[in-house]
Amino acid sequence: MSESKKFTDSGIEIKKVYFQDDLPKVPSPGGDLWEAPGTFPFTRGIQADMYRGKLWTMRQYAGFSTAEESNKRYHYLLSQGVNGLSVAFDLPTQIGYDSDHELAEGEVGKAGVAIDSIDDMRALFDGIKLQDVTTSMTINATAFILLSLYVAVAKEQGADLKKISGTTQNDILKEYAARGTYIYPPKPSMRIITDIFEWCSNELPKWNTISISGYHIREAGSTAVQEIAFTLSNGKAYVQAALEKGLDIDVFGKRLSFFFNAHNNLFEEVAKFRAARRMWAKMMRDLGATDPKAMMLRFHTQTGGSTLTAQQPLNNISRVTIQTIAAVLGGTQSLHTNGYDEALSLPTEEAARIALRTQQIVAYESGVADTADPLGGSYFVESLTNEVEEKAWKLIEKIDVMGGSVSAIEQGFIQNEIARSAYEYQRQIETGEKIIVGLNKFGVTDEQPIPIFKVNDTIRSLQIEKLRKLKANRDIATVDQCLQDLNDKASNGGNLIPSVIGALEHKCTLGEIADELRGVFGEHR
Before 41, cis peptide (omega within 30)?
yes
DSSP 8-class letter at 449: P
Sequence-ordered strand ranges (E) for 293-418: 299-303, 334-336
What does the DSSP 8-state code read for residue 176? I
Torsion of CA 302, 308, 313, 316, to 10 degrees: -50
CA distance 168 to 447: 40
Distance of alpha carbon 145 from alpha carbon 195, whole angstroms: 12
Residue 161 pLDDT: 96
Query: What is the DSSP pairing of strand 134-138 with strand 299-303?
Result: unpaired
Q: Is 119 left (phi over 0), alpha (psi -120 to 50) or beta?
A: alpha
Residue 84: strand, helix, or coil: strand
**Burial category of 419 from C-beta neighbours within 10 Å (exposed 0-12, middle 13-18, buried 19 and up):** middle
Contact assessment for residue 182 and residue 143, using Cβ atoms and an 8 Å cutoff = no
CA distance 328 to 374: 10
Backbone angles phi, psi at 375, to 5 degrees: -95, 0
Full pLDDT tens readout for the chain, 525 residues: 456 899 998 999 999 999 998 887 655 544 455 689 999 999 999 999 999 999 999 987 777 889 999 999 899 889 988 878 889 999 999 999 999 999 999 999 998 999 999 999 999 999 999 999 999 999 999 999 999 999 999 999 999 999 999 999 999 999 998 888 999 999 999 999 999 999 999 999 999 999 999 999 999 999 999 999 999 999 999 999 999 989 999 999 999 999 999 999 999 999 999 999 999 999 999 999 999 999 999 999 999 999 999 999 999 999 999 999 999 999 999 999 999 999 998 888 899 999 999 999 999 999 999 999 999 999 999 999 999 999 999 999 999 999 999 999 999 999 999 999 999 999 999 999 999 999 999 999 988 888 888 877 789 999 999 999 999 999 999 999 999 999 999 999 889 999 999 999 999 999 999 999 999 999 998
Q: What is the model's pLDDT at position 1?
A: 41
Among residues 65, 149, 71, the alpha carbon closest in space to that of 511 is found at: 149
Maximal CA-CA distance, the chain: 82
DSSP-derived letter for residue 13 is E
Q: Note the residue count of the chain.
A: 525
pLDDT of residue 26: 56
Query: Can you tell me the distance from the alpha carbon of 239 to that of 365, in angstroms, rounded to the nearest whole number?
Result: 40
- Rounded CA separation 307/298 (Å): 24
pLDDT at 141: 96
Sign of torsion, CA 483 486 491 492? positive
CB 522 within 8 A of CB 185: yes
Pairing of strands 13-14, 6-7: antiparallel
User: 318 and 438 in contact (C-beta within 8 Å)?
Assistant: no
